[in-house]
Amino acid sequence: MWSSLWQVKRLEAQIEAEERAHREGRPEYIRHAAEFHLVLAEMTGSPLLARYMRQLVGRSALILGLYGRPRWTDCSVHEHRDLVSCLVTGDLARLEPLMHDHLEAVLSRAIDTASRDRDRGIRDLLAPYAEAARSA
């Protein structure tokens, strides 16, 4: 077994927040999805990996903000759930290909939306967040 009960609960809570935001069509879905990776990196106990992931997620958020969509139709929640399941059961033989497939899917979704949205600017990027702020 890989993790303690509090680690599993923390990851599950992160996934639930991601799933809720996705289901409700809220733009912070992408932030919750990104935070899953940060939480996972922090749990390794490696300050180097955690710092690297914070930098990678920060840069990715900027790129996805410019070229991605706040609401992807392909949800990665099930991918995150599968990864946690493998960690909990210690199924490392299944974990490695799942992680590879997950990262490949993230990249594919980002490239796909970037190719469709080449003309988006900063105003387009911030519009969904401005709309949410006006509605609140």
Task: Give per-residue burial for 25-34: e unless 16+ CB within 10 Å, then b.
Answer: ebbbbbebbb
Beta carbons within 10 angstroms of residue 57's beta carbon = 19
Beta carbons within 10 angstroms of residue 17's beta carbon = 17
Per-residue pLDDT tens, the chain, 136 aa: give them: 455 888 999 999 999 999 998 889 887 887 888 899 999 999 999 999 999 999 988 887 776 666 655 445 555 888 999 999 999 999 999 999 999 998 888 777 666 655 665 566 656 656 766 676 677 6
Domain count, the chain: 1
The CATH number assigned to the domain holding 124 equals 1.20.120
Domain limits at 53?
5-135
